[in-house]
Amino acid sequence: MRLILVGPPGAGKGTQAQFLSAHYSIPHISTGDIFRANLKAGTELGNQAKAFMDRGELVPDSVTNDMVKDRLTHDDVANGFLLDGYPRNVAQAEVLRAFLAEAKTPLQAALELAIASDEIIKRLSSRRTCRGCGASNEAGATNCASCNGNDLYQREDDKEEVIARRLEVYEEQTAPIISFYRSEGLLITIPAVGTVAEITEHAITALGRL
């Protein structure tokens, strides 16, 4: 299964990606997670990305595209992959399409998690991320629901001033990829409402019709 997840920040892409990647036995490739890991490790890539991430802006395509292409040459993508947070604009979508066409492994679906914008703000501002495994948790939780680690923090870009900018960036730059994938005949939209398990089940049913 070669799949991308599309949807605004806070739609639950990372959470669903965890479950879907386990279900289909494919790696979950999150560009945000890769950038955060590089930031933490103090790499050159992390330094390049930091200022953009802190402002809620997109990291330049040249940096992001090369990073994803490199990741997609690893052995573990032989059975497919689930991209989360990439592509983030139409130019990235075109680079991905060309790269996968060249490898004769085209995308099979773009799964859109649809959610209302007032719900997004509520979810993002109450999100606490696990420093150990990167999973999202609710504010007030003391331990991570995914790995039981006890180091939960609020991402800099989940603070209110940055959330507003991330939503603008989503509307202006990322939302157009929905029409792109619709016209490619790859778009599958499901509402991102209900429990995590309900949404996963809905996604698997929708993807099962492929």
Query: Using CB under 6 A, which residues numbered 15 to 34 contact ligand AMP?
Result: 31-32
| 53 is a contact residue toward ligand AMP (CB under 6 A) | yes
Q: Phi/psi class of residue 103: alpha, beta or left (left: φ > 0; alpha: ψ in -120 to 50)? A: alpha
Residue the block writes with tokens 């806070």: 10
User: What string marks each residue from 59 to 78 as x (binds ligand AMP by CB under 6 A) or -?
Assistant: x----x--------------
The span of 18-26, 79-87, 121-129, 146-154 binding ligand AMP (CB under 6 A) equals: 79-87
| 85 is a contact residue toward ligand AMP (CB under 6 A) | yes
Question: Of how many residues is the chain composed?
Answer: 210
Residue 132 burial (10 A CB sphere; 0-12, 13-18, 19+): middle
Closest to ligand AMP by CB, 160 or 208: 160
For this structure, is 166 an active site residue? yes
Q: Is the dihedral of CA 135, 77, 72, 180 positive or negative?
A: negative
The span of 81-89, 105-113, 183-191, 193-201 binding ligand AMP (CB under 6 A) equals: 81-89
3-class SS shares of the chain: helix, strand, coil, % to 5: 50, 15, 30
Peptide bond into 87 cis (omega under 30): yes
> In which element (H, E) is residue 180 found?
helix 176-183
Q: Which residues bind ligand AMP (CB under 6 A)?
A: 9, 31-32, 35, 52-53, 56-59, 64, 85-88, 92, 157, 166
| Binding-site annotation, residues | 10-15, 31, 36, 57-59, 85-88, 92, 127, 155, 166, 194
Catalytic residues: 13, 88, 127, 155, 166
